[in-house]
Structure 1
């Protein structure tokens, strides 16, 4: 598959508590709305422990994004393995699995998109880079699946699929209408039928 997740070092028990608390708080409330005092209190650690384990709030945000991304990738990879052979069904399986994943794990949309909306280059260069890396990985995955399926314009088709996917996840997070991944999947079927 496309580019791997950066190596995720094993976490100490204290670091795991910090990351778990931060992940829940960042996703539910937003990055800027949650301070390190709140995270430390929720994790049952001191601010010193938080900074000793992660160095900065920005590094903690990057770790949060990387760990969520790793969970999504592992889950998606297991789902794709269950879809036999290369072809259009494997491409559509990304949308199918995104629907199931988002229902269970992402009712507020994509954590990377949400983080990207909250930070600017001045105060979050590492966060912006991580969000971009995750989206480039997904585009690369769509390209790879389109090549495997024998799609003539694999890159162009993958870019269209990426727009459908990203539109669905943003629509989900905004609550504009229900089941945007089902709509995106139907549109993807039409794109792939022509490709």
Structure 2
């Protein structure tokens, strides 16, 4: 029978592998990063890696889940940080979040959007996991806009999500938060127009 400290140590090692793989995939890309790189960085054997994740795709799924869980909580806290904000202003804070991240330093885009791009038509589970993350972001926007009671609410949610995703992609090219600021202004105008 395994004791709690042994189980905890295995869980910690798995978490360490996920965090290292996340950082490496985010910096170098998914196809450009081999399993050997993750093994070298964490000091684990290929057998241990496959025991925990089954395959490289299993490891990628674990990193997407790690990103989705952490990012959802961070964004939710961020957009709700001002309890007096009006619903539209709360929703617009999602763009402020992006602007701050872009201006902090090297911006590699959205981890999940990067995975989706590299695995389109190549990995159904990876695509589905990416779609779940995107759906979560869209739900955050949806909740804020429902509170605002704007007409054509569903259409507006999709339009703002397009601005959000487009700003992320464009900012990878420009290496600047300016694109995100323009997307925020466009989102504000859409809400005022409705």
- CA deviation after TM superposition for structure 1 residue 106, in Å: 6.9
Cα distance between partner residues in 1 of 2:104 and 2:96? 13
1:76 aligns with 2:100: no
SS in 1 for 2:123: helix
- CA deviation after TM superposition for structure 1 residue 176, in Å: 6.5
Greater Rg by CA: 2
Equivalent residue number for residue 191 of structure 2: 192
Q: 8 Å contact 1:109–1:174 — kept in the other structure?
A: no
Cα distance between partner residues in 2 of 1:111 and 1:174? 15
Please, what is the CA RMSD of the aligned residues? 1.9
Equivalent residue number for residue 42 of structure 1: 41
* Greater mean alpha carbon deviation, residues 140-149 or residues 34-43: 140-149
Alignment of 1:149-168 (within 5 A): 149-168=148-167
Equivalent residue number for residue 93 of structure 1: 93
Equivalent residue number for residue 3 of structure 2: none
Q: 8 Å contact 1:110–1:173 — kept in the other structure?
A: no
Q: 8 Å contact 2:102–2:176 — kept in the other structure?
A: no
Alignment of 1:1-195 (within 5 A): 12-83=11-82, 84-104=84-104, 107-121=107-121, 123-175=122-174, 178-195=177-194
Unaligned 5+ runs, structure 1 = 1-9
TM-score by length of 2: 0.87
Cα deviations by residue, 1:55-90 (Å, 9 ceiling, x for unpaired): 111111011111112221111111122222552111
Q: 8 Å contact 2:72–2:136 — kept in the other structure?
A: no
Cα distance between partner residues in 2 of 1:85 and 1:178? 23
SS in 2 for 1:71: helix
Cα distance between partner residues in 2 of 1:156 and 1:120? 25
Cα distance between partner residues in 2 of 1:37 and 1:25? 12
- CA deviation after TM superposition for structure 1 residue 105, in Å: 8.0
Unaligned 5+ runs, structure 2 = 1-7
SS in 1 for 2:44: coil
- CA deviation after TM superposition for structure 1 residue 166, in Å: 0.6
TM-score by length of 1: 0.87
SS in 2 for 1:22: helix
- CA deviation after TM superposition for structure 1 residue 140, in Å: 2.1
User: CA 1:22/1:165 → structure 2, altered by over 3 Å: closer, same or farther?
Assistant: same
SS in 2 for 1:12: helix
User: CA 1:176/1:23 → structure 2, altered by over 3 Å: closer, same or farther?
Assistant: closer
Cα distance between partner residues in 1 of 2:157 and 2:118? 27
